[in-house]
Amino acid sequence: MSVLREATPADVEAIMDVQQEASIRALSGIFPQDRHPFPRAELTARWVDEIADPTVRVLVILSHGQVAGYVAVKDDQLLHFGTATSTWGTGLAAAAHAEILELFSGQGRLWVLTGNRRARRFYEKMGWRATGRCVPEDFPPHPELMEYHLPTGSRRSSPAHDAT
C-alpha cells in the first residue's frame, strides 16, 4: 500500500504545518528561533511554485489518510523530504523513502544540513553516502549543506524503524 500521493495546491498548508513543527524541533540549534524564525511565507511560496513546476514532482506522505509528510524530487535529486514529528520512529519515513527510490532513474542525490544529525543518520542508514562537497544554505545564518548520493547498486530495503 502506497504512502505517497501527488500533492495539490490544497495540500500546501498541511505541508507547511508538518515542515514548520519538524524544522523547529530538529533544527532550532542551527536556526535559533529568536534570531532566525522559521520562514513560513518564503517556504509556502516555494511549495506553491514547486507544485506548479512541471519539472518538480511534489508528493505528500500519508498516515491514516492525513498529510504526515512531504517529498519533492527533480530528476534524480531529492529536494525535500520530511515527516511529522508524531510519526518519527514509526517506520513511515522508511516506507516513504522506499517509494521515493522508485522515482529515480539513476544515482540519487540530495543536500542535507551538516548539523542535522538525525537526517544524516537516516540517510546513511538508507545507503546514502556523503560526497565531501559542501555549500552554504540559502537561509540565514547560512549553515553548511553537505551533498549525499545514493549509488544505484546500493539501494536496499528499508528497515522497520526510521530516524527522521
pLDDT digits 0-9 by tens, 10-45: 999 999 999 999 999 999 999 999 999 999 999 999
**Average pLDDT of every residue of the chain:** 92
First CA to last CA across the chain, in angstroms? 21
| pLDDT score of 2 more than 80 | yes
Per-residue pLDDT, averaged over 95-105, amounts to: 94
Q: What are 62's three cell numbers?
A: 500519508
| pLDDT score of 6 more than 90 | yes
Per-residue pLDDT, averaged over 46-53, amounts to: 98
Look at the pTM and tell me if it is higher than 0.85.
yes
| pLDDT score of 163 more than 80 | no
pLDDT digits 0-9 by tens, 56-88: 999 999 999 999 999 999 999 999 999 999 999
